[in-house]
Amino acid sequence: MKITWLGHAAFRIETAGAKILIDPFLSYNPSFADQDRKAVAEGITHILLTHGHGDHVGDTVALANETGAVVLANADLAAWLAAKGVKKIEMGNTGGTVNLGGFTATFTQALHSSAQITEDGVSHSLGSANGLMLHFDDEPSLLHMGDTDIFTDMGLINELHQPDIGLVPIGDRFTMGGAVAALACQRFFDFKHAIPCHYGTFPIIDQTPETFVKGMDGLKTRVETPKVGTVLSF
């Protein structure tokens, strides 16, 4: 498995059977500005969305049309994307699992909101906010927490799915901050690897992962803090 952080909460995941983008906020993502969008989109088979905010849906419509990728989203967001012209859609909701061929995706709980104010000036409710739990046949399991605060049922997610890799929001203000995110990992998960995200993108959120890294010191979980565009292999 290869994982590339694309800035904010966006990731490219490459496995033997799939090339996946999660929350592909690229075009207006200042953290992604110097990266090659064409290279990131190359060969993409799936686009997975945690929720409907613009900094997570990002380039989904354009990328889906360019690549023919299957888009997975909660039912409300999926219907909204279909109205925007996305052709290949898989929908689900909290607790549900979708078999995507080569891997499964389960919608886990997240404490956050999910809506967009679109060009018509109307706020559109786009379903619940979720995390995404991915299971592969012969590769590490991976949990993208989505945007969330800490909550005690994270322990149930770990019990049910035992994720090897955690993609953890740490930026504060709109998600849990670094210290709380570290507590969540320590108390509720047994990650082998944790990759912090949702920081450094905008001035009003935390700019570095230092607080999270400090909070994880001494734990068995290995914390990876790659630069945007760096490929990690697991």
Mean pLDDT for 91-95 is: 98
Percent of the chain scored above 70 by pLDDT? 100
**Maximum Cα–Cα distance for the chain, whole Å?**
50
Cβ distance 212 to 200 under 8 Å? no
pTM over 0.95: yes
In this structure, of 69-78, 80-89, 119-128, 182-191, the range with the lowest mean pLDDT score is 119-128
User: pLDDT at residue 121 above 90?
Assistant: no
User: pLDDT at residue 123 above 80?
Assistant: yes
**Residue 98: per-residue pLDDT:** 98
Per CATH, the homologous superfamily of domain 2-227 is Ribonuclease Z/Hydroxyacylglutathione hydrolase-like (3.60.15.10)
Residue 113 burial class via C-beta count within 10 angstroms: exposed 0-12, middle 13-18, buried 19 and up: middle
Contacts of 76 (CB under 8 A, 6+ apart): 52, 114, 125, 126, 127, 128
The Cα–Cα gap between 30 and 93 comes to: 30
Listed residue (74, 12, 80, 81) closest to 46, CA to CA: 12
The Cα–Cα gap between 86 and 4 comes to: 25
- Which residue's structure tokens are 């969305």? 49
The Cα–Cα gap between 200 and 191 comes to: 23
The Cα–Cα gap between 31 and 49 comes to: 19
- pLDDT band for 122, please (50, 70, 90 cuts): confident
Over the chain, what is the mean pLDDT?
Answer: 97
For the chain, the structural domain boundaries read: 2-227
**Residue 71: per-residue pLDDT:** 98
Mean pLDDT for 14-28 is: 97
User: pLDDT at residue 32 above 90?
Assistant: yes
The Cα–Cα gap between 164 and 159 comes to: 12
What single DSSP character describes residue 211?
Answer: H
Distances (CA, A) of 34 to 21, 112, 198, 229, 232: 18, 29, 18, 9, 19
Cβ distance 158 to 143 under 8 Å? no
Tokens of 111: 């404490």
User: pLDDT, tens digit, for every residue of 159-179?
Assistant: 999 999 999 999 999 999 999
Mean pLDDT for 27-46 is: 95
